[in-house]
Amino acid sequence: MKGHLHRKMLRGCQLETHGRPSSQAECFDQRVGVGVASPHHAALARRSRVATKRVRAGLRPELLSVSWKLYPSTFVFENDFTALKPNTARDRLDIESMGLLVAEAEPGTCRVICFSPRHDLTLATIGVDGIELVVRTWIEQFRELGNLENISHVQIFENRGAMMGASNPHPHCQIWATASIPEAPKKELIAQHAYKKAHGRCLLCDYVVLEEKQHVRLMHSNEGFVALVPFWAVWPFETLVCSRRHIGNMVQFARDEVRSLAAMLQRVTSTYDKVFGVPFPYSMGFHQSPTDGSDHPEWHFHAHFYPPLLRSATIRKFMVGFEMLGSPQRDITAESAAERLRELAGGQ
């Protein structure tokens, strides 16, 4: 969390930061280590050493109970190291007006969501009730950011593990809300629109029906969602999660679908942890309907999981050589990956 944001919170609670005995400081820091401390230390800023120094410099012990009340479950804050700023001017640069070297400014907002005040939990271990709280926070954030006039896309994503660039182990995800629709969801938008125009039906609705009929690439399903290894999977144990009902985004969830998604995320992530017996790294994100003010009946809610581990807890897939210069190669088939995941998921 931002240092100045933390200080504002302290002032709002009329707490002081005067000195206190070193034994109290050590006691507070020890409590931080077991995950019951303030949002300042538990939140995700890459300032953990600075935060510890500030604790030892004299934050009063009563901050523990106050912080627990401030941060009982999920916690949302603006990213310290934001890549997007809401007041960025929509400037465009075209060097020598040739259309070859073009740059456009991208306004937007970056936020972080802590899943829990505890350091030792993940989506795989927080439990369905805990994940349901996270899902409800995602819904609130999508609604709030998507209603902003200059936001066309709200991207919720999680990078889990140092292998995926997560610099802080505390369970968290990020939200980037952008003025334009990014490249990957834009390609999906074009494909879904073209399929609906050609067939009069939803692309992913038809795809889920086909995959359930084939069954060989299914991983797990429940009342609201289906998890499968997509036919086109590139990453080992890549997973696609689709809603059964044709909905565009989380705001449209029925109450039971909130619970169903929480249960599905718990099943997928806990199954991943069983593959090699380690906390499984991945990048995961939801692709939801654009928030550009237009109707998007073609869009179907889904999530992507991209895990890098291939043959063991230490051997990962690299996109190199022909895969960078030609096209991606499949180290394992989607069918064999799904079979393995299905076996592990069924063993829970």
Q: Where are the extended beta strands (E) located within the chain?
A: 75-78, 92-94, 102-104, 108-114, 153-160, 172-178, 218-221, 225-228, 239-243, 282-287, 302-306
Question: How far is residue 223's CA from residue 254's CA, in Å, rounded to a whole number?
Answer: 12
Q: What is the CA radius of gyration of the chain?
A: 22
Q: Which of 41, 153, 170, 172 is catalytic?
A: 172
- Amino acid symbol at 69: K
Q: Which residue from 242, 256, 233, 239 is spatially nearest to 344, judged by alpha carbons?
A: 239
Based on the residue annotation, tell me whether 302 is a catalytic residue of this protein: no
Q: Which residue from 5, 3, 53 is spatially nearest to 25, judged by alpha carbons?
A: 53
Residues in the chain: 348
CA-to-CA separations, 220 to 136, 153, 203, in angstroms, rounded? 22, 29, 20
| Residues that are catalytic | 172
